[in-house]
Amino acid sequence: MSKLQDLIDRLCPDGVEYVEIQKICNIITPPYKLKRNEYKLIGKYPIIDQGQKFIIGYTDDNLAILDKDEYILFGDHTREVKFVDFAFAQGSDGLKVIKVKGNVNTKYLYYCLKNLDIQSEGYSRHWTKLKVKVIPTPDLQIQIEIVRILDNFTELTTELTMELTTELTARKKQYEYYREKMLTFGYNVERVKLEEILTYEQTTKYIVSDTKYNDSFNIPVLTAGQSFILGYTNENTGIYNASKDNPVIIFDDFTTSFHWVDFPFKVKSSAMKILKLKDATNANFRYLYYAMKCIKYMPKEHKRQWISIYSKIKIPLPSLEEQQKIVDILDRFDTLCNDITKGLPAEIEARQKQYEYYRAKLLNFKEKANKNEL
């Protein structure tokens, strides 16, 4: 850091000028925007769009290519910011291809844009708001040194994130392996259809009315997909009162994804079913949840799955005593795995926040006084 401070003390002791982003860049129009049905899995050139994924596909179409150079790509709807230094094709619409002009380093501007807090306006265009924001423009030598430091930070953060993600994946696979082993039985154990031991309720009367969620509200709004909790609502009617003593399984009727729920909730849509135990005298509900986790079924078409297909699937049903033993062991595994699952992402997030903190510090300059103010 001493080299950077020496440069700042020598080259801009009185501060730096802040300029509007639109004054230091041009928007490039690509020769052709590829449609989604033109994306290939393999090709000569990568396709980049405004989505979170960096490269979305490939093409061999030379007419759609922007030549190798340094570009910043900004998702006008998504607010995603990407740095590209190779030839590529633009996919779909909503992408601003930015070319720096003047005495500004492209990678430096990229880091400045990543550092800005661009508030979401939903699926509106965001470039009109971004282009009038101001950023510091120190001497080019200082910009280059900041880029060097942040490139090193980025590399270290990426390496650590990959290591932690690999560890998390390994723990999950280990847990899934033991769950599969415990739920594998011989032919002497009865198999029953899910519809014989589970009943369901439609979610219609539990659908949230207002999707303006706020973390300060109390009632979670759920989806059976990966995100699980979409947000929180202050609506106090139409709540499903699940609890530790009265748990349910929420089941996505189209994807067959599901979650265990033991707290009051509302739902986002009617695409789910609420599954409940029919008779506790011959089945342990938690055991059924774990057994469903071992079902290897993937829907082949977009249609409701529970009644026609999924509920017909058979699972092994040993004695209640054996079910309880399995639940006790898997609950302990689940708690251990969840502790790790929570801990590692928290560590990843902490490292990311640390990186963002240092990036913000590096890009914070004293503003040079306007001559008219002197």
Using one digit for the tens of pLDDT, what is the confidence trace for 21-51? 999 999 999 888 898 889 999 999 999 999 8
Which of 110-114, 333-337, 340-344, 363-367 shows the lowest per-residue confidence on average (mean pLDDT)?
Answer: 340-344
Asked if residue 176 is part of any domain, the answer here is: no
CATH number for 43: 3.90.220.20
Asked if residue 116 is part of any domain, the answer here is: yes
Confidence of residue 371 (pLDDT cuts 50, 70, 90): low
What is the model's pLDDT at position 251?
97
Query: Does residue 118 share a domain with residue 253?
Result: no
Query: Does residue 146 share a domain with residue 245?
Result: no
Is 70 exceeded by the pLDDT of residue 143?
yes
Mean pLDDT of the 173-197 span = 90
* Spatial separation of the C-alpha atoms in residues 315 and 294, rounded to whole Å: 9
What is the model's pLDDT at position 72?
96
Query: Does residue 223 share a domain with residue 192?
Result: yes
Asked if residue 172 is part of any domain, the answer here is: no
Tokens linked to 4:
């950077």
* Spatial separation of the C-alpha atoms in residues 90 and 55, rounded to whole Å: 10
What is the model's pLDDT at position 140?
95
Helical segments of the chain, H only: 2-11, 106-115, 127-130, 140-182, 194-197, 285-293, 320-362
Question: Which domain covers residue 3, as residue numbers?
Answer: 1-14+141-167+325-374
Query: Does residue 147 share a domain with residue 10?
Result: yes
Mean pLDDT of the 261-269 span = 95
Whole-structure pTM value? 0.61
* Spatial separation of the C-alpha atoms in residues 70 and 74, rounded to whole Å: 13
Mean pLDDT of the 206-213 span = 91
* Spatial separation of the C-alpha atoms in residues 350 and 81, rounded to whole Å: 21
Query: Does residue 149 share a domain with residue 2?
Result: yes
- Each residue of 314-340: pLDDT tens digit? 999 999 999 999 999 998 887 777 776
Q: Give the total number of structural domains in the chain.
A: 3
* Spatial separation of the C-alpha atoms in residues 97 and 343, rounded to whole Å: 38
Residue 96 phi/psi, 5° resolution?
-100, 120
Which of 6-10, 73-77, 102-106, 351-355 shows the lowest per-residue confidence on average (mean pLDDT)?
Answer: 351-355
Helix axes 106-115, 140-182, angle to 10 degrees: 60
Evaluate whether 27 touches 96 at the Cβ level (below 8 Å): yes
Cβ density class 362-374: b for 16+ within 10 Å, e for less: bbebeebeeeeee
What is the model's pLDDT at position 334?
79
Query: Does residue 337 share a domain with residue 307?
Result: no
* Spatial separation of the C-alpha atoms in residues 11 and 142, rounded to whole Å: 8
Asked if residue 366 is part of any domain, the answer here is: yes
Is 50 exceeded by the pLDDT of residue 162?
yes
Q: Which residue has the higher pLDDT, 221 or 161?
A: 221
Which of 235-239, 306-310, 342-346 shows the lowest per-residue confidence on average (mean pLDDT)?
Answer: 342-346
Find, among 81, 110, 114, the residue nearest to 95 by Cα. 81
What is the model's pLDDT at position 373?
52
Which pairing describes strands 266-267 and 219-222: parallel, antiparallel, or unpaired? parallel
Query: Does residue 91 share a domain with residue 23?
Result: yes
Query: Does residue 360 share a domain with residue 294?
Result: no
- For residue 119, the Cα-to-chain-centroid distance in whole angstroms is 17
Helix axes 320-362, 106-115, angle to 10 degrees: 120
- Each residue of 95-104: pLDDT tens digit? 999 999 989 9
* Spatial separation of the C-alpha atoms in residues 334 and 259, rounded to whole Å: 13
What is the model's pLDDT at position 97?
95
* Spatial separation of the C-alpha atoms in residues 262 and 239, rounded to whole Å: 13
Please provide the average confidence, as pLDDT, over all residues in the chain: 90
Is 90 exceeded by the pLDDT of residue 171?
no
Amino acid letter, 293: K
Which of 60-69, 114-123, 146-155, 194-203 shows the lowest per-residue confidence on average (mean pLDDT)?
Answer: 114-123
Asked if residue 106 is part of any domain, the answer here is: yes
Find, among 174, 171, 180, 182, the residue nearest to 329 by Cα. 182
What is the model's pLDDT at position 1?
53
What is the model's pLDDT at position 125?
87
What are the C-alpha distances in Å from 211 to residues 26, 136, 220? 37, 38, 11
Evaluate whether 224 touches 265 at the Cβ level (below 8 Å): no
End-to-end CA distance of the chain: give it in Å, rounded.
31
Is 90 exceeded by the pLDDT of residue 166?
no
Q: Which residue has the higher pLDDT, 341 or 270?
A: 270
Mean pLDDT of the 194-200 span = 96
Evaluate whether 91 touches 53 at the Cβ level (below 8 Å): no
Query: Does residue 126 share a domain with residue 27?
Result: yes
Is 70 exceeded by the pLDDT of residue 374?
no
Helix axes 285-293, 320-362, angle to 10 degrees: 60
Query: Does residue 95 share a domain with residue 24?
Result: yes
Query: Does residue 205 share a domain with residue 91?
Result: no
Is 70 exceeded by the pLDDT of residue 341?
no
Query: Does residue 203 share a domain with residue 277?
Result: yes
The helix (H) or strand (E) run that includes residue 35 is none
Asked if residue 179 is part of any domain, the answer here is: no
